């Protein structure tokens, strides 16, 4: 199971979370990555935690003020990137462009989707993985794997029917080891979470609980 912690724009200490994730990953053998703000990518990568960008833009070098260039993200230590998060939605053509930009920079990709139909559309673009995240559960206290297990199972089936090589993660409300176990039981290859770790008083303790069943 892959655990990706998205720090969004929360007022947390990215280095504290990154260090906690690195230490728990080393101790447990679990794969844990942290996705900080673009401005913090290099600092987070210097902790030796697996580092992911929150977004890359669907463009190459050129006159693109305000874009997040895939090559720049990679040069600053990112190994992968989220694309089309529910809080930063893109048109399908731009999702495709961002996936291609990430591939050009040798970044792994996770395309976020709201439901199984969108998962199928995203899988057709051949990212490394898709993440199903019902928007109404994002930031809540109930995991999607508990609140709506059918959507996770249907997302796994939808991706498999389009491209069996595309992994499926689930997000929204994930915060405990039980949530991770439930996601695995439903066929997910990993989880995407944010506030459960980013807002925690004890990130190490939360991360240790998350990997306890892995």
Looking at the annotation, which residues are catalytic? Answer: 85, 133
Q: Which residue's entry shows tokens 């066929």?
A: 187
Q: Which residues lie across from 170 on neighbouring strands?
A: 132, 191
What burial class does residue 93 get, using C-beta atoms within 10 Å of its C-beta: 0-12 exposed, 13-18 middle, 19+ buried?
exposed
What angle is formed at CA 20 by the lines to CA 181 and CA 34, rounded to 5 degrees? 70
Provide the Cα torsion 172, 198, 207, 187; round to 10°: 20
| Cα–Cα distance measured from residue 152 to residue 188, given in angstroms and rounded to the nearest whole number | 7
Whether 30 contacts 106, CB under 8 Å: no
CA 210/CA 120 separation, integer angstroms: 28
**Partners of 80 in the β-ladder:** 52, 108
Per-residue burial over 113-130, b if 16 or more Cβ lie within 10 Å, else e, is bbbbebbbbbbebbbbbb
- How far apart CA 96 and CA 152 sit, in angstroms, is 23
């Amino acid at each position: 199971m892959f655990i990706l912690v998205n720090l969004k724009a929360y007022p947390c200490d990215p280095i504290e979370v990154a260090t906690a994730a690195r230490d728990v990953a080393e101790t447990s053998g679990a794969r844990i990555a942290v996705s900080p703000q673009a401005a913090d990518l290099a600092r987070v990568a210097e902790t030796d935690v697996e580092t992911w960008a929150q977004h890359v833009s669907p463009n190459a070098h050129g006159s693109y003020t305000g874009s997040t260039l895939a090559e720049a993200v990679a040069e600053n230590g990112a190994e992968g990137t989220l694309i089309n998060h529910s809080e930063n939605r893109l048109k399908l053509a731009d999702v495709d462009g961002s996936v291609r930009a990430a591939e050009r920079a040798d970044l792994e990709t996770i395309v976020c989707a709201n439901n199984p139909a969108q998962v199928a559309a995203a899988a057709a673009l051949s990212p490394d993985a898709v993440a199903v995240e019902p928007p109404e559960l994002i930031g809540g206290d109930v995991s999607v794997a508990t609140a709506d297990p059918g959507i996770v199972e249907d997302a796994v089936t939808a991706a498999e029917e389009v491209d069996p090589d595309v992994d499926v993660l689930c997000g929204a409300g994930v915060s405990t080891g039980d949530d991770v176990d439930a996601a695995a039981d439903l066929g997910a290859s990993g989880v995407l979470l944010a506030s459960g770790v980013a807002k925690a008083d004890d990130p190490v303790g939360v991360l240790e609980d998350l990997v306890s069943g892995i």
